[in-house]
Chains A and B, each alone.
Chain A
Amino acid sequence: MSTRKFGAPIKRNIDPRLLTGRGAFTDDINLPGVLHAAFVRSPFARARINGIDTSIAEQAEGVVAVYTCDNIGHLDIELPLLIPHPSMTKARTQRPLARGDVYYVGQTVAMVVAVDRYVAEDAAALVDVDYDPLDVELDLEQAIEDGAPLVHPTHPNNIAADFTQVSGDPEAAFAEAEHVTRIRVQVDRSTAAAMECRTVAARYDATRGELTVWDGTQAPLGVRGGLASIFGMDEDKVRVIAPDVGGGFGQKVMFPYPDELLVPHAAIQLGRPVKYIEDRRENFIGSNQERTQIHEIELFAKKTGEVIALRDNFLHDTGAFIPYGIAVAQVASTSIAGPYRIPNIHVRFRAVYTPTVPVTPYRGCGRPQACFAIERAMDQLAEELGIDRFEIRRRNLIRDEDFPYTREGLLFADGLRVKLDSGQYLKALDMARDAIGWNEFAAMQSRAADEGKSLGLGLAYYVEGTGLGPYEGGHVKIHPITGKVYVNTGLTSQGQGHDTVFAQIVSDQLGVKVEDVIVVEGDTGTFEWGVATFASRAAVVSGNAIHKTAVKVREQTIKAAANMLEADPLQVVLSDGYAEVPGTNRRVSLAAVATATNPLRYAFNSAAQAATQFASASRHDGPPLIDGQHPGLEATDYFSPECATWAYGVHAAIVEVDRETCRVDVKKYICIHDCGNMINPVIVDGQVMGGFAQGIGGALYERIEYDTDGNPTNANFVDFLIPYATEVPAIEISHLETPSPLNPLGVKGVGEAGCIAVGATLASGIEDALRPMGGAKFHKTPITPSMIFEAMAKA
Chain B
Amino acid sequence: MAAAGDELRMWRNFQRRARFFRPDVGECRVKPPLFDYLVARSSDEAIRLLSDNPGAMILAGGQSLIPAMNFRLASPSALIDISRIAALKSIDIVDGNVRVGAAVKHRDLEQSDAAFAVNPLMRTALHYVAHVPIRNRGTTVGSLCHADAAAEMPMILLLSDGWVMAEGPNGQRKIPAAEFFEFHMTTTREADEMIVSATFPALPSGAGYAFAEFARRKGDYAVAAVGAILECDLDGRVAAARLAACGIASRPIRLFDVEASLVGANLSDAEIDAAGELAKEAVTAPDDANATTAYRQHLLASLTRRVIREASEKVRKG
Contacts and interface: CB of A to CB of B under 8 A. Distances in A.
B31 A121 contact: yes
Interface in B7-28: 7-8, 10-11, 13-15, 18, 21-23, 26-28
B292 to A, nearest CB: 4
B15 A118 contact: yes
Interface string B275-318: 00000000000000111101100110011011000000000000
Contact of A661 (B8, B27, B31, B214): B214
A279 B30 contact: yes
A789 B292 contact: yes
A727 B21 CA distance: 45
Interface stretch (B135-143, B177-185, B215-223): B215-223
B299 A785 contact: yes
Interface residues of A, number: 48
Contacts of A388: none
Contacts of B291: 784-786
A785 B14 contact: no
A662 B305 CA distance: 15
B256 interface: no
Contact of B30 (A63, A124, A281): A281
Contacts of A116: 11
A122 B15 contact: yes
Interface-central residue, A116, A121, A713, A727, by most chain B CB under 10 Å: A121
Nearest to B14: A61
Nearest to A63: B14
B15 A119 contact: yes
A125 interface: yes
B116 interface: no
A63 B14 CA distance: 9
Given A279-B31, A662-B299, A786-B295, A727 B217 contact: yes
Given A118-B15, A122-B22, A719 B289 contact: yes
A43 B292 CA distance: 27
Contacts of A281: 28-30, 71
Given A123-B18, A279-B31, A785-B223, A62 B10 contact: yes
A178 interface: no
A724 B31 contact: no
B216 A701 contact: yes
Contacts of B289: 703, 705, 713-714, 719
A789 B29 contact: no
Nearest to B293: A786
A715 B289 CA distance: 12
Contacts of B74: none
Given A62-B10, A789-B295, A117 B302 contact: no
Nearest to B23: A125
Contacts of A123: 14, 18
B294 A793 contact: yes
A367 B295 CA distance: 32
A726 interface: yes
Contact of B21 (A56, A63, A663): A56
Given A785-B291, A789-B295, A790-B292, A723 B217 contact: yes
A660 interface: yes
B120 interface: no
Interface string A653-671: 0000000111100000000
Interface residues of B, number: 39
A716 interface: yes
Nearest to B70: A279
Interface in B240-290: 289-290
A661 B220 CA distance: 15
B298 A115 contact: no
Given A122-B22, A663-B214, A726-B217, A789 B298 contact: yes
B239 interface: no
Contact of B11 (A38, A56, A61, A280): A61
B175 interface: no
Nearest to A722: B217
B31 A62 contact: no
A474 to B, nearest CB: 40
B34 interface: yes
Interface string B208-234: 000000101111100100000000000
A166 interface: no
B29 A126 contact: no
B176 interface: no
A114 interface: yes
A682 interface: no
B232 to A, nearest CB: 24
A727 to B, nearest CB: 5
Contacts of A716: 71
Contacts of A518: none
A617 interface: no
Nearest to A785: B295
A124 B27 CA distance: 11
Given A662-B298, A714-B289, A119 B14 contact: yes
Contact of B302 (A125, A660, A793): A660
A444 interface: no
A134 interface: no
B92 to A, nearest CB: 33
Contact of A125 (B27, B220, B298): B27
A119 B292 contact: no
B18 A43 contact: no
A341 to B, nearest CB: 40
A416 interface: no
A60 interface: yes
A784 B299 CA distance: 13
B218 A727 contact: yes
Contacts of B306: 660
Given A117-B31, A785-B299, A60 B217 contact: no
A776 interface: no
A663 B290 CA distance: 12
A115 B28 CA distance: 21
A661 B302 contact: yes
A115 B217 contact: no
A716 B290 CA distance: 14
Contact of B217 (A660, A721, A784): A721
A623 B13 CA distance: 71
B295 A790 contact: yes
Contact of B14 (A62, A117, A714, A789): A62
Contacts of B29: 38, 121, 124-125, 279, 281
Interface string B56-71: 0000000000000001
B14 A60 contact: yes
Contacts of A117: 31
B295 A662 contact: yes
Contacts of A701: 216-217
A116 B14 CA distance: 12
Contacts of A38: 29
B31 A118 contact: yes
Given A661-B214, A701-B216, A790-B295, A122 B14 contact: yes
Contacts of A663: 214
Given A125-B23, A125-B27, A280-B30, A661 B71 contact: no
Interface string B188-226: 000000000000000000000000001011111001000
Interface of B: 7-8, 10-11, 13-15, 18, 21-23, 26-31, 33-34, 71, 214, 216-220, 223, 289-292, 294-295, 298-299, 302-303, 305-306
23 contacts: A61-B11, A61-B13, A62-B10, A62-B14, A63-B14, A118-B31, A118-B34, A119-B15, A121-B31, A122-B22, A126-B21, A126-B22, A279-B31, A660-B299, A660-B303, A661-B299, A663-B214, A714-B289, A784-B216, A785-B214, A785-B216, A786-B291, A789-B298
- List the 6 closest A-B pairs by CB distance, nearest first: A62-B11, A660-B302, A61-B10, A279-B30, A726-B218, A789-B295
Given A662-B295, A721-B216, 8 more contacts: A61-B13, A121-B31, A122-B15, A123-B14, A125-B27, A701-B216, A716-B71, A790-B292
